Structure 1
Amino acid sequence: MWSLPFHPVTDTNQVLWWCREIFAAQTEALPIMRSLCVEPFQNISVVDTGARRAFTHCSSWKTNHKHEAVLSFPLSSPFRKSLCICLSSSANLPVMMEEKKQTFDANEADLLVKELNESFRTRKTKSYEWRVSQLKSIEKMVVEREKDISEALYKDLSKPEYEAFVSEIAMVKSSCEEALKELKQWMKPEKAKTSMATYPSSAEIVSEPLGAVLVISTWNYPFSLSVKPVIGAITAGNAVALKPSEIAPATSSLLSKLFEEYLDRSAVRVVEGGVLETTALLEQKWDKIFYTGSPRVGRIVMTAAAKHLTPVVLELGGKCPAVIDSDVDLQVTVRRIIAGKWQLNNGQACISVDYIITTKEFAPKLIDALRKGIEEFFGTDLMESKDISRIVSSNHFSRLESLMDNYKVFNKIVVGGQRNQKNLKIAPTIFLDVPGDSQLMQEEIFGPLLPIITVENVEDSIDLINSKPKPLTAYLFTNNEKLKNNFVQSVSSGGMVINDTVLHVTVSSLPFGGVGESGMGSYHGKFSFDAFSHKKAVLYRSFSGDASVRYPPYTPEKQKLIRAVMNGGIFDIILALMGWSRD
């Protein structure tokens, strides 16, 4: 029995779509359908033969195995009804049956890795020319298909075109441009100092590609967070497979088509799908795995990687705090908080402001300014604003609704609170002084809900932040230099911004990544190149200068000399060569 969240529908096509999606997730062929029985719920009734005909048109299978399955969907209604689909083997169906589409399984994943490794072993991905050609192709792809990308992002998230360009399209173009400009320099070996013990010698650090790497991306920025790590993998000279998020299906499908059209398929591939496909990929031996998503799934990825001793980069999340002192420019602060919360996918971003800490005295002024700022940016009817993204799915909407309606916080709302389940819209919502043990303060919100926590003194915010897992980013707004220094030195986070939000991700000379619960490893700019490279230490020596002191027999004279050499003192070396010592 499989159970999934299900909402009331007025159209049997939606019912049948759910059925198709569930059956498509099974790894083994299901039996052909004998009958489809739908129990009426609310005011809906379904004619058996018509439903069967519609369903078999969507999903039909051939099999010799006897099997029966029941799918039960709990309804969001006062009356718990159910939709039951009964399957059994039959040879007397009056409809034409077709083969089920083959699932991407462990065998397919194994073949994919072999093909990528074969391509890598030809050494073509290591060449400067191949890397440049792929980067130029990505740049061309973004320019030529910008409209398609924006449309896919709107389908998945109702993402405003402005946001789609600034946070997704322009970010990818910028990464390509920098990589093309700097790649030759990045690829050059780095000179390293040598010691007296290896004299005469020279040394260098050579960046070499790892091999076949896997990028598993997420849904909130489904284009940029897919393509930017791939750019890093390509600049480092790897073969790469991308698994985009199934929660953003329009962008996932588009990425598959675009990569096929623009990039070298022998070394750059896209695998679409959900949990089953990701699991199949994680069972394989990769040379590195780059994952963006939640800490929960990050643990699953890390466990799978450990089996093969595969290194990982985990870009996770956390509760990113914003501390606001009372001495700030309030208007500028509010605009930047709004930009770092509701302009970021309506709060669906790992670096968005998760909660605010300020003083009890300053909180009323801040709340009033935030209310006015939200109205200025998005209008008085927040549900109709075209500048706010929708919630990505009904599951995430229900999760956020549960956070809002929790008995500990539902009466703490001071701004917003409106919601529209049909359109998956939730207004910017502010809470004041919710309990620390509430779900709202215990888990990453990843949505438009913003708690404000008050303290007696702004300095108390540091202990409050440090009592929680280390965040991906921490924000501070103040003109107090002492507080700035104390905050930077005392708060551990993946990144930090003083007197603004989120802009650190646009600075390619800064590494972007987490620490502790918020992740490991970093990327952006050259850090992306380094993330997908092995730093190989190389020492060069000639056949001259082969001192007998390093070889047996170990005489007292040799011991004096080797001590002098290892201690690095030129005077001691001269004394040892003359047979003298300081003693």
Structure 2
Amino acid sequence: MENDLERDLKELRDTFNTGKTKEYSWRISQLRGLLHILEDRENDIFLALKKDLGKHHVEAYRDEVRWNSGEKYKLCSRKLEAMDGCQKDADWQVALLLDSPTLVTMCFLATNSFFGPPSVNCTLSRSMRRLRYRVVLILLMRTCWFEEFITVELHNSLFFSYLGVFVRTMSVVFTCHQSGSASNGVPTTLFEGVSYQALSVRSPTLKLRESVSLPLAAFPSSASLIPEPLGVVLIISTWNFPIGLSLEPLIGAIAAGNAVVLKPSELAPSCASFLAETIRDYLDNSAVKVIEGGTDKGEKLLQLKFDKIFFTGSKRVGRAILLAAAEHFTPVTLELGGKCPAVVDTISSSRDTNMAAKRIVWGKFGPCAGQCCVGIDYILTEKKYLPKLVELSKKYIKQCYGDDTADRTHSMSKIVNKRHFSRLKSLLDEPLVKSSIVYGGSLDEESLYIEPTILVDPPLDAEIMTEEIFGPLLPIITLERIEDSIEFIRARPKPLAIYAFTENETLQKRLISETSSGSIMMNDAILQYAVDTLPFGGVGGSGFGRYHGKYSFDNFSHEKRKYATEILERANMVRCHPCQTLVDTESKLGADGDPGSLADADWAGCPTTRQSTSTTLVYCETMSVVYLSSNLVQHQRTKHIKIDIHFVHDLVVAGQVWVLHVSSRYHYADIFTKGLPTTLFEEFRTSLSVRSPTAQTAGEC
């Protein structure tokens, strides 16, 4: 097995060394291959996710596939259908997501325009239609029980702006300035027949070379940053979103021009087999390989030398990966997790309270039954808000996921395996924890189903409050003052995200400035993950490194610094060695033909006699110039330091160039640009046959 891994790694490195993966056409072809996987094998993705995690196909589509494309990337035109026990109360679904009567009206106008004629005749301006589309997209993205659908006009105007990070990353990573690309920076070969209006306006632009400014001392040189691929990279993905969290970093690695080894999680075997099969069939197997296997295979991989390791998973495994990477000085990106708190202080109106409860229910139990690294782990709220918050949470759990276990097993994911099920069961089995349950708590080991469970004030030293829960258990911790939540969060490891449901701007600012987390979101949950223009990543124990969109490209690239002395290129002297000769400070001024140059115009010298206290020829490098110009003593002694470029001095020493002394009276730059001393001015005036001026034009010492 070890020899097989070494042979695969050698093949990948040989492919990378040929420069094949750096070619623009190769990168585009591989990204299009990933698109075709989603297009051709969507149903297989749904089946694999259903088998491994019990994900409903709507949840799988929303969280991992995120779009559907047919030949020429035709648009999805799905209709609402029976959802196997999921609730479909349209009024509640609208109220769940929208904050104001105006937006509710817009949503109903939009839904009417898609599902049937409006009940009232109305004419909407273009801007209002665009708002209508946005509202519907927000509605579709937020509901965990809706079939997603898109109309032609909706797709052309806002599709890339609002759908998932996965496809947006794929589009953004090649929004770069390069010959052969479209004039707006979007490659025409990646998405055929699709409007790029949203992309060109909203997406960050990647450049294959980014110029940077230089100080005046570096003139006429130029400097730039050139992203180059790191080499052969290892991506170790996780099991809770086994498709999306495998392909998302893979996009960035391919786009940056790397060869890739993808190691999917053995805890989602159907998805791992799907990835191995499809990537082998759709991508270049000499540059992208999928290695299946368990912990032993992962340990063997970590013994090999990679140029970058990207890991998504637990802190325990992340720590082991760091230790293994240190052996080879391999850079690592760790996307871990942590206990993400939700601070609830929204009681200013019934609308705010209802909205907070709905979004907390979705943010906790919606994505993979709480097995989500950015999901809400626990709630912090004041005691006076507790009764209402518990009441509303119970209401919306029932309304979203049904009233009985049969309904919920169809609409919620299952726990990934018996080991994780037992871990969650042990959290609830602690006597003081069990007594704090106010809703739910039922478990079905055969189906690996755990009912959404709410707990109030479990012991803070219990494991449920010290370890990441990663399941459908929601503790609520009450505080005397909501401001105490800041110290509560700071006293614990830094979370991957903080969610604050509050209209109190002072509290919002304090949470931003006085806490540390990978991200912070106000009055909603998890949606920051879907914003591709924001980097996603943790801090401290929740991980380090970042990706999504442009940042995925950056994560797998090294910005090589280029400094070009273009004057050498223009003089055809790029092979000269500026440091071949030593700095010479002994050569004096003279007219005997020796190499000479004028340290001109002493700052404190006499303008009449042109006497200079610095008549030393100075050969020096750029760093010496910077030092001399910043040294106050030297700066006061000399106004100008004439510097012979080293390659000229090299040629002088070699006898290939002869430098002639030129008297200062024939320095035409002095004559035409400076106030001349009296003697020189008279000579110059006489040479022009000009009579004496009526007033003195130069001072005397």
Q: Report the secondary structure of 1:458's partner residue.
A: coil
Output the CA distance in 2 between the equivalents of 1:507 and 1:567: 49
Deviation at 1:320, TM superposition (A): 0.4
Deviation at 1:258, TM superposition (A): 0.5
1:106-125 alignment runs, 5 A limit: 106-125=2-21
1:354-365 alignment runs, 5 A limit: 354-365=377-388
Output the CA distance in 1 between the equivalents of 2:299 and 2:57: 34
Deviation at 1:487, TM superposition (A): 0.7
Gap change, CA 1:573 and 1:223, over 3 Å in 2: farther
- 1:202-248 CA distance string (max 9 Å, x none): 00000000110000000000000011111110000000010000100
The answer on 1:575 being equivalent to 2:643 is: no
The answer on 1:190 being equivalent to 2:220 is: no
- 2:368 maps to which of 338, 345, 350: 345
Deviation at 1:482, TM superposition (A): 1.0
Gap change, CA 1:351 and 1:175, over 3 Å in 2: same
- 1:307-348 CA distance string (max 9 Å, x none): 000000000010001100043501111111111110010100
Output the CA distance in 1 between the equivalents of 2:533 and 2:314: 25
Q: Report the secondary structure of 2:639's partner residue.
A: helix
The amino acid across from 1:381 in the alignment is D
Give yes or no for contact 1:135–1:180 (8 Å, CA) kept in 2: no
- 2:476 maps to which of 431, 452, 460: 452
Gap change, CA 1:497 and 1:573, over 3 Å in 2: farther
Deviation at 1:578, TM superposition (A): 9.2
Aligned position for 1:157: 53
- 2:316 maps to which of 288, 296, 299: 296
Give yes or no for contact 1:186–1:526 (8 Å, CA) kept in 2: yes
The amino acid across from 1:575 in the alignment is K
CA RMSD of aligned residues (A): 2.4
Aligned position for 1:96: none
The amino acid across from 2:32 in the alignment is K
Output the CA distance in 2 between the equivalents of 1:479 and 1:409: 32
Output the CA distance in 2 between the equivalents of 1:435 and 1:307: 41
Output the CA distance in 1 between the equivalents of 2:469 and 2:428: 10
- 2:172 maps to which of 150, 171, 178: 178
Give yes or no for contact 2:343–2:485 (8 Å, CA) kept in 1: yes
Aligned position for 1:313: 333
Aligned position for 1:126: 22
Output the CA distance in 2 between the equivalents of 1:554 and 1:478: 69
Aligned position for 1:499: 523
TM-score between both structures, scaled by the size of structure 2: 0.65
Give yes or no for contact 1:136–1:176 (8 Å, CA) kept in 2: no
Gap change, CA 1:114 and 1:507, over 3 Å in 2: same
Aligned position for 1:84: none
1:420-435 alignment runs, 5 A limit: 420-435=444-459
Aligned position for 1:552: 583
Give yes or no for contact 1:314–1:519 (8 Å, CA) kept in 2: yes
Output the CA distance in 2 between the equivalents of 1:527 and 1:501: 22
Deviation at 1:464, TM superposition (A): 0.3
Gap change, CA 1:118 and 1:425, over 3 Å in 2: same
The amino acid across from 1:246 in the alignment is E
The answer on 1:565 being equivalent to 2:629 is: yes
Output the CA distance in 2 between the equivalents of 1:563 and 1:114: 48
Gap change, CA 1:471 and 1:562, over 3 Å in 2: closer
Deviation at 1:561, TM superposition (A): 5.7
- 2:427 maps to which of 360, 383, 403: 403
Output the CA distance in 1 between the equivalents of 2:259 and 2:642: 58
Aligned position for 2:134: none
Equivalent residues, number: 474
Aligned position for 1:147: 43
The answer on 1:260 being equivalent to 2:280 is: yes
Deviation at 1:187, TM superposition (A): 4.4
Structure 2 runs not aligned, ≥5 long: 67-163, 179-204, 587-613, 644-701
Give yes or no for contact 1:196–1:565 (8 Å, CA) kept in 2: no
Give yes or no for contact 2:34–2:283 (8 Å, CA) kept in 1: yes
Gap change, CA 1:116 and 1:360, over 3 Å in 2: same
Aligned position for 1:466: 490
Deviation at 1:179, TM superposition (A): 3.1
Output the CA distance in 2 between the equivalents of 1:223 and 1:302: 24
TM-score between both structures, scaled by the size of structure 1: 0.78
The amino acid across from 1:123 in the alignment is G
Gap change, CA 1:535 and 1:376, over 3 Å in 2: same
Give yes or no for contact 1:294–1:317 (8 Å, CA) kept in 2: yes
1:225-240 alignment runs, 5 A limit: 225-240=245-260
Output the CA distance in 1 between the equivalents of 2:637 and 2:399: 75
Gap change, CA 1:574 and 1:378, over 3 Å in 2: farther
The amino acid across from 2:564 in the alignment is Y
Output the CA distance in 2 between the equivalents of 1:420 and 1:578: 85
Output the CA distance in 2 between the equivalents of 1:461 and 1:452: 12
The amino acid across from 2:404 in the alignment is D
- 1:539 maps to which of 545, 556, 563: 563
Output the CA distance in 1 between the equivalents of 2:525 and 2:436: 25
Gap change, CA 1:111 and 1:394, over 3 Å in 2: same
1:282-293 alignment runs, 5 A limit: 282-293=302-313
Aligned position for 2:231: 211
Give yes or no for contact 2:502–2:523 (8 Å, CA) kept in 1: yes
Give yes or no for contact 1:318–1:350 (8 Å, CA) kept in 2: yes
Q: Report the secondary structure of 2:561's partner residue.
A: strand
Q: Report the secondary structure of 1:528's partner residue.
A: helix
Gap change, CA 1:409 and 1:178, over 3 Å in 2: same
- 1:246-271 CA distance string (max 9 Å, x none): 10011001111100110000001000
Q: Report the secondary structure of 2:468's partner residue.
A: coil
- 1:221 maps to which of 220, 236, 241: 241
Q: Report the secondary structure of 2:380's partner residue.
A: strand
* Identical pairs, percent: 45
Output the CA distance in 2 between the equivalents of 1:206 and 1:511: 20
Give yes or no for contact 1:210–1:238 (8 Å, CA) kept in 2: yes
Q: Report the secondary structure of 2:533's partner residue.
A: coil
Give yes or no for contact 2:318–2:336 (8 Å, CA) kept in 1: yes
Output the CA distance in 2 between the equivalents of 1:235 and 1:158: 32
Aligned position for 1:379: 402
Gap change, CA 1:573 and 1:435, over 3 Å in 2: farther
Give yes or no for contact 1:197–1:565 (8 Å, CA) kept in 2: no
Q: Report the secondary structure of 1:203's partner residue.
A: strand
Output the CA distance in 2 between the equivalents of 1:230 and 1:547: 43
Output the CA distance in 1 between the equivalents of 2:625 and 2:331: 42
Output the CA distance in 1 between the equivalents of 2:274 and 2:625: 68
Deviation at 1:194, TM superposition (A): 1.4
Give yes or no for contact 1:383–1:426 (8 Å, CA) kept in 2: no
- 1:381-427 CA distance string (max 9 Å, x none): 14532211111101100000000111231100011111111100001
- 1:528-549 CA distance string (max 9 Å, x none): 000000110110003379999x
Aligned position for 2:590: none
Output the CA distance in 2 between the equivalents of 1:209 and 1:572: 48
